[in-house]
Chains A and B, each alone.
Chain A
Amino acid sequence: MSLPRDISPGTAARRSLLADLLAALVLTLLAFQLAAGIGVVGFMALLTLLALVAWIAIEAIAHGTARRRRTRRERAVRAATKRESPT
């Protein structure tokens, strides 16, 4: 049995998320198996979470800034175009 290949983008996104969830579960089980205790797992997970949240936040801020800059530039170009061709 194979998975259907002709799928909508939404289904593809859900499938990719499910695969990532399974990978995360395996990683979690591995962490609990290998670490000396739940405290170490929690501590490391907290540090990882903080680092990833900081990364995502910085990325979002950078994207937001770039988008605002682009929008401002586009508005300026549009305004200049209007001034040049008033008819």
Chain B
Amino acid sequence: MPTARSERRYAPIPFWRRARRILLLSAIACLIPAGVSYVGAMSEKHNVGLGVSSVEWLRQHGGNRLVSQIENWYYTLNAPEKGGPPLRSLPSVGVADTSGSGESAPKPAYRPPRVAPIIHPALPGEGVWTPAAKGAGPRPPVLLTTFRSDPEYPQLVAGVAWIDSGRTHLSYAPGLAEPPPPLPHRGPSEVPEAQRRRVIATFNGGFPLETSNAGLIYRGRVEEAMVNGIATVVEYRDGRVDIVRWHSGPQAPANVWFAKQNLPPIIYEGRLNPNLSDGPEWGETVNNAVRVWRSGLGIDRRGNLIYAAADNQTVESLAKTLQRAGAVRALELDINEDWTSFISYSRPGAAGPTNLLPEMLRPADRYLTPDERDFFAVYVRTGEKW
């Protein structure tokens, strides 16, 4: 016999409503631990905006492919048009060249040859090296230039820096978050106060270890297993710097002080890597053919370093820029506008910081405050006159 209770029948919820409720509850449950992790990460010290930090958090927590895919779509949709009106001038870089006046050099100092312009007529100062610092004498340790590096995109200007390895010392500095902790002797993640009187330039490091699938040796200790065949910036314990294709296995050789790897070489023994235009070997990040801010580091025949960066570059166009500037071996460094920086200091004490290209997004004092990512600092060697 039906009771009064069962007469007030429970109207079952339609299936789709229950499915929606389950999804809603599940989404809330998923968001709780993710939110705790996100808020924790965002409350740490940062020198980039919330948007960039959020993307970095997503990358570090399994979202690398997702972010790269979204970036690929975005950059492909916003790719620059070929051609366009010709430029009338280039951004001025460096300081007035005073090397011809004043003190005389004991012997003729080597200077790299002018970067031969690709687009004619050449613009004033195109490819002409200018000292990065004032009063650097007849042998400036860092020279800068700009040139239009791609005839199909005559609006694009590449910034290039040449670093005299004989007069300078290259130092690798870990950032606040990259390489990821734990890292003994991380340092201040900025140019140390005590070193600022000698710093002449600073520039961005490579991809985060997670996306480069490559290794790192820091202060002689392996922090991430080294990978054979990968392009590597090496500083030996005697202070020599080189760019090599790594063949020493996962461990740190006794004579290596730091070694930072990033993708396969883009130039090796004077020749461009034949796989520049395809393949998944260019890291778990935006496709190698997508045009974004890119930077790279090369070495010339005399062992001097050459840094190059420009907006709207593919891996191939970056490699060609470095090759034109004289690099015989080179690797790609970090990419995207948020991470690409080359800053020169015109006077001792890290005074007069200036970005290599005015379009570089990050401020010129980026490495004078703690930075997220690892970077390189170029110091005038002890005993060398500024």
Chain A positions within 8 Å of B, measured between CB atoms, are 6-9, 12-13, 16-17, 20-21, 23-25, 27-28, 31-32, 35-46, 48-49, 52, 55-56
Contact = CB atoms under 8 A, between A and B. Distances in A.
Given A38-B62, A39-B37, A43-B66, 4 more contacts: A35-B62, A40-B63, A42-B34, A43-B63
B58 interface: yes
B77 interface: no
Contact of A39 (B23, B25, B61): B61
B110 interface: no
Given A6-B6, A9-B10, A46 B31 contact: yes
B5 A39 contact: no
25 contacts: A6-B6, A9-B9, A16-B12, A20-B21, A20-B22, A21-B25, A23-B22, A24-B24, A24-B29, A25-B29, A27-B23, A27-B26, A36-B62, A37-B60, A39-B63, A40-B61, A40-B62, A42-B31, A42-B33, A42-B34, A42-B37, A44-B30, A45-B26, A45-B30, A49-B24
A20 to B, nearest CB: 5
Contacts of B30: 28, 31-32, 41-42, 44-45
A8 B24 contact: no
A49 to B, nearest CB: 4
A68 B259 CA distance: 71
Interface of B: 3, 5-6, 8-13, 18, 20-31, 33-35, 37-38, 57-66
A13 B18 CA distance: 11
A10 to B, nearest CB: 8
Interface SS, A side: helix
A52 B3 CA distance: 39
Contacts of A20: 18, 21-22, 25
Nearest to A50: B27
Nearest to B5: A8
A7 B3 CA distance: 10
Given A9-B9, A28-B29, A41-B34, A48 B57 contact: no
B61 A24 contact: no
A39 B10 contact: no
Nearest to A44: B30
Contact of B27 (A13, A17, A49, A55): A49
A9 B60 CA distance: 48
B58 A39 contact: yes
A37 B62 contact: yes
B19 to A, nearest CB: 9
Contacts of A35: 62
A28 B62 CA distance: 16
Contacts of A44: 30
Contact of A27 (B22, B61, B65): B22
Contact of B61 (A38, A45, A55, A56): A38
B25 A12 contact: no
A7 to B, nearest CB: 7
B135 to A, nearest CB: 49
Nearest to B31: A45
B8 A9 contact: yes
A52 B23 contact: yes
A9 B13 CA distance: 12
Contacts of B34: 38-39, 41-43, 45
Contacts of B29: 24-25, 28
B61 A8 contact: no
Contacts of A32: 30
A25 B66 CA distance: 25
B24 A52 contact: yes
Nearest to A28: B29
A24 to B, nearest CB: 4
Contacts of A9: 8-11
